[in-house]
Amino acid sequence: MKKHIINNLHTIQKRIQTACHKSNRNPEEVRLLLATKTVSPDRIQIAIDEGFSLIGENKVQELKQKASTISVAKPEIHFIGHLQTNKIKEVLKWAHCIESVDRISLAQKLHNRLALDNKTLDIFVQVNTSGEKSKFGVSPENAIPLLKEISQFETLNIKGLMTIGLLSTKSEEVRKCFKTLKTIQEQVNASAIPNIKIEELSMGMSGDLEIAIEEGATIIRVGTAIFGEREYPDTYYWNEQKTII
């Protein structure tokens, strides 16, 4: 088990390097986030011990269960799943960044809680670039208006944008999603909205990380290619309206 995870991590590093080389980017510009949903703390620890300390969890309950074990190693924890407002207090205990802010009501409630506690938080805005109904995220058309609204909350530092690309074998369709995210970043940064400078693009997963890196990803989120297949289908994490089994 340990050997597998370590080998897989090295394979991903090579994939990152190759993709960076191809697109004339410095591999240091691309961080690997371990997407650790369903992965047990002992397996996460193996990756942390190898020096990979950026972790993403999708569910607050699961994060809470694992956090006290994995937090000993002081990883940087990002929340990357759909966040319900009634879980805000709990998620703020553990997450250093929330990558899945996709609506003003959520931003408002995060702000209220942070203001009470006299804290600030790094966030990303999640954009639904594939247009699939099953995906969370603000639509590309509404992304800039949402970013402007969120920028008024002084407790929230808008660091980046996040997207899940179309799950497809048609790489040009997947690429379009990543290009859309990059375009929003460029438009926002060119329009000089006060308090916003988008530095990060979190995009690309096990199957499409090369395309994402070519299109400007600064964080890729990888689960399966490191830890193996998961027991639950991703719809369980990506769309809570769908029940499985």
Ligand X SMILES: *Cc1c(COP(=O)(O)O)cnc(C)c1O
Q: Pick the binder of ligand X from 80, 97, 147, 177 (CB under 6 A).
A: 80
Q: Does 39 bind ligand X (CB under 6 A)?
A: no
Per DSSP, the three-state class of 161 is: strand
Q: Does 37 bind ligand X (CB under 6 A)?
A: yes
In the complex, minimum distance from the CB of residue 220 to ligand X, in angstroms, rounded to a whole number: 8
Q: Which two tokens stand for residue 144?
A: 């800039």
- Which one of the spans 18-26, 71-79, 153-161, 217-225 is the region binding ligand X (CB under 6 A)? 217-225
Q: Does 165 bind ligand X (CB under 6 A)?
A: no
Q: Does 5 bind ligand X (CB under 6 A)?
A: no
Q: Does 35 bind ligand X (CB under 6 A)?
A: yes
Q: Pick the binder of ligand X from 95, 107, 211, 222 (CB under 6 A).
A: 222
In the complex, minimum distance from the CB of residue 210 to ligand X, in angstroms, rounded to a whole number: 13
Q: Pick the binder of ligand X from 107, 205, 211, 213 (CB under 6 A).
A: 205
Q: Does 185 bind ligand X (CB under 6 A)?
A: no
Q: Quick one: 111 or 221, whose CB is closer to ligand X?
A: 221
Q: Quick one: 90 or 234, whose CB is closer to ligand X?
A: 234
Distances (CA, A) of 45 to 74, 78, 134: 11, 16, 32
192: left (phi over 0), alpha (psi -120 to 50) or beta: left
**Rounded-to-integer distance, Cα 160 and Cα 207, Å:** 22
Element (H, E) at 79: strand 76-79
Question: What backbone phi and psi angles, to 5 degrees, belong to 161?
Answer: -125, 150
- Is the distance from CB of 63 to CB of 77 less than 8 angstroms? yes
Q: Quick one: 27 or 207, whose CB is closer to ligand X?
A: 207
Helices (H), 136-170: 140-150
